[in-house]
């Protein structure tokens, strides 16, 4: 019995207002329109960005909304004009896209697609601005073009990575956001050479993915910097060799790291969003060849201040978005790295809950427990 072309009624976790627990509702999911695909979500995981927009303190409060953007599923049906995906394909929906036609997509250096780059305020589909979700005829807003906290969702084809059908979706779903962001920041942007030292600021899921990138690259020393010492034990599994808690010192942490390393680290990756950590990450790299990469998202009024002589002394400051991966072109190969055991993912997944208990995932993240909580949709 094909559901293609029909409205699908299914369960979704709806955020009705900021900071209130999600509510499991029956929603109607319209068929995909031009350049869209409808996906049956099998596994989704909670990322800090979902919590940030659910809480909506520093954001435009846009409700009711179906959050979620880290997920894996199977294509149920495709809209007009979709040629590279078909029903049954295994896919990862991704919060940013790749139209394959704009100057960014045609550039080998960029993944910041003009059409589909992340837009946190967009609440409908690009094609017609409308939502594909409704309850009793009233629209429910989309989130990041993915809205994966639903048994079915509709996504623009440019935001869908087709992956190896043998890859376990309950593991590789975490590559659709956080793990790729951190891992790619190290391997694609910082690019440490074998035997070099790397400092990682912030040992949450993204920071540990950056550490995993350093481990895979053959770094000899990986220094983890975090204000929470309880994170240090877990970080050893990700190759972190040294730990620094800035609270233990009465001088700036960059000075501590420069002393520890006899002149500074070769590479640093900042995964906190704290402006002070960003400055420390830059100032702790070695002159002549050091590279610092910023990953964390700052507050809107932040300003980066450093003495220009740091740049004249041949330290490099870079930024990255989604680990510099193009979603459709590059993410399938990252999944293959996992399949070939070149990259470990299982250690990032510390909890799993059924869809009916999705609010438990929020509670765990708000309590700072674990790394990734995977939500099983089949219950």
Catalytic residue numbers, as ranges: 47-49, 69-70, 99, 102, 105, 113, 117, 177, 372
Q: Containing H/E element for 284?
A: none
Alpha helices in the chain (DSSP H): 48-55, 103-106, 169-172, 178-184, 205-216, 231-235, 253-261, 275-283, 309-312, 327-339, 358-366
* Count of alpha carbons within 13 angstroms of residue 38, beta-carbon side: 26
Angle between helices 48-55 and 358-366 (to 10 degrees): 90
Q: What is the DSSP string of 46-80?
A: --HHHHHHHH-SSS----SB----EEEEEEEEE-T
Please state, in angstroms and rounded to a whole number, the distance separating the CA atoms of residues 164 and 53: 31
- 267-270 vs 197-201, strand pairing mode: parallel
Q: Choose among 10, 38, 43, 8: nearest CA to 159.
A: 38
Please state, in angstroms and rounded to a whole number, the distance separating the CA atoms of residues 299 and 48: 15
Q: Choose among 213, 207, 268: nearest CA to 235.
A: 207
Q: Choose among 95, 92, 75: nearest CA to 31.
A: 75
Please state, in angstroms and rounded to a whole number, the distance separating the CA atoms of residues 272 and 246: 14
Upstream peptide bond of 64 is cis (omega within 30 degrees of 0):
yes
Class of residue 301 by CB neighbours under 10 A (exposed 0-12, middle 13-18, buried 19+): exposed
Beta pairing partners, 54: none
235 neighbors 211 (Cβ within 8 angstroms): yes
């Amino acid at each position: 019995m094909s559901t293609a072309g029909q409205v699908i009624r299914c369960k979704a976790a709806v955020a009705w207002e900021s900071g209130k627990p999600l509510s499991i509702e029956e929603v109607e999911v319209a068929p995909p329109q031009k350049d869209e695909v409808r996906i049956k979500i099998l596994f989704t995981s909670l990322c800090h960005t979902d919590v940030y927009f659910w809480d909506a303190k520093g954001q435009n409060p846009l409700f009711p909304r179906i959050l979620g953007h880290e997920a894996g599923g199977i294509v149920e049906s495709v809209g007009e004009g979709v040629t590279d995906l078909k029903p049954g394909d295994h896919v990862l929906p991704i919060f940013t896209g790749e139209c394959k036609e704009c100057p960014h997509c045609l550039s080998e250096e960029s993944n910041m697609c003009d059409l589909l780059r992340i837009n946190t305020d967009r609440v409908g589909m690009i094609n017609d601005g409308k939502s594909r979700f409704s309850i009793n005829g009233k629209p429910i807003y989309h989130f990041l073009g993915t809205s994966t906290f639903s048994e079915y969702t509709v996504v623009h084809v440019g935001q869908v990575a087709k992956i190896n059908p043998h890859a376990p979706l309950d593991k590789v779903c975490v590559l659709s956001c956080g793990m790729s962001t951190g891992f790619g920041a190290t391997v694609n942007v910082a690019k440490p050479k074998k035997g070099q030292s790397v400092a990682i600021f912030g040992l949450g899921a993204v920071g540990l993915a950056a550490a995993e990138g350093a481990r895979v690259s053959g770094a000899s020393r990986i220094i983890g910097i975090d204000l929470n010492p309880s994170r240090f034990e877990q970080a050893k599994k990700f190759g972190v060799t040294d730990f620094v808690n800035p609270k233990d010192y009465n001088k700036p942490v960059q000075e501590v790291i420069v002393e520890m390393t006899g002149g500074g680290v070769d590479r640093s990756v900042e995964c906190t969003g704290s402006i002070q950590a960003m400055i420390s990450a830059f100032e702790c790299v070695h002159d002549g060849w050091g590279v610092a990469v910023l990953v964390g998202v700052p507050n809107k009024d932040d300003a980066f201040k450093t003495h220009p002589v740091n740049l004249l002394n041949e330290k490099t400051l870079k930024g990255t978005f989604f680990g510099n991966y193009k979603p459709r072109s590059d993410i399938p190969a990252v999944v293959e790295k996992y399949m070939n055991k070149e990259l470990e993912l299982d250690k990032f997944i510390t909890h799993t809950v059924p869809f009916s208990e999705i609010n438990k995932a929020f509670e765990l993240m708000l309590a700072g427990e674990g790394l990734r909580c995977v939500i099983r949709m089949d219950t």
